[in-house]
Structure 1
Amino acid sequence: MARKCKITGKGPLTGNNVSFSQKKTRRRFLPNIQTKKIYVPELDRHVRIKMSVRAMRTVDKIGLMPFLKKQGLTLKDVVS
């Protein structure tokens, strides 16, 4: 299962865990990816998309189709 947002393309980042003694060990920072069912009024149906919570907030604000257009994507590109 890829931990990647279908809309924004956000994926895991790497960095360090730093202990009190300043020892550094490698770790991954995972994005907050959720599967969400969204109603698309243009198609009069629901679609299920795996997306980051940041993208969810934007979709709630401006709508799915305008956000996809802004990102240069179509609905077919992101439907899981």
Structure 2
Amino acid sequence: MFCVLCFMEKVCAICKKKSSMGRTLVKLRGKYNPTSKKRKYPNLQWVRLASGKRVLACAKCIKRLSRV
């Protein structure tokens, strides 16, 4: 048995949304305060399409599919 997520990319199958780099900004007046970068991932969920295939889709695409 193998892990399915280990071999899959963390990308939405519908809109191709993937992770992005963000940073935290700490506002201290006149102080040097280095902050590190943080990777932000999309909210991916397993969804079954009308064809019966299971794909990883982001929450925005799931909302869009439910409206159609």
Identity %: 18
Shift of 1:37: 1.6
In structure 2, the residue matched to 1:78 is none
For structure 1, which segment, 27-36 or 12-21, has the greater mean C-alpha deviation from structure 2 after superposition? Answer: 12-21
3-state SS, counterpart of residue 56 of structure 1: helix
In structure 1, the residue matched to 2:62 is 56
3-state SS, counterpart of residue 49 of structure 1: strand
Q: Are 2:42 and 1:35 equivalent residues in the alignment?
A: no
Structure whose residues are more often strand by fraction: 1
In structure 2, the residue matched to 1:7 is 14
Q: In 1, Cα distance between the equivalents of 2:53 and 2:18? A: 22
TM-score, length of structure 1 as denominator length = 0.60
Q: In 2, Cα distance between the equivalents of 1:17 and 1:10? A: 21
Task: Return 5+ residue gaps in structure 2 as ranges.
Answer: 1-7
Number of residues of Structure 1 aligned to a counterpart in Structure 2: 57
**Which protein shows a greater Rg?**
2
CA contact (8 A) 1:18 1:25 kept: no
Q: Are 2:29 and 1:18 equivalent residues in the alignment?
A: no
Task: Return 5+ residue gaps in structure 1 as ranges.
Answer: 63-80
Q: In 1, Cα distance between the equivalents of 2:19 and 2:44? A: 10
TM-score, length of structure 2 as denominator length = 0.69
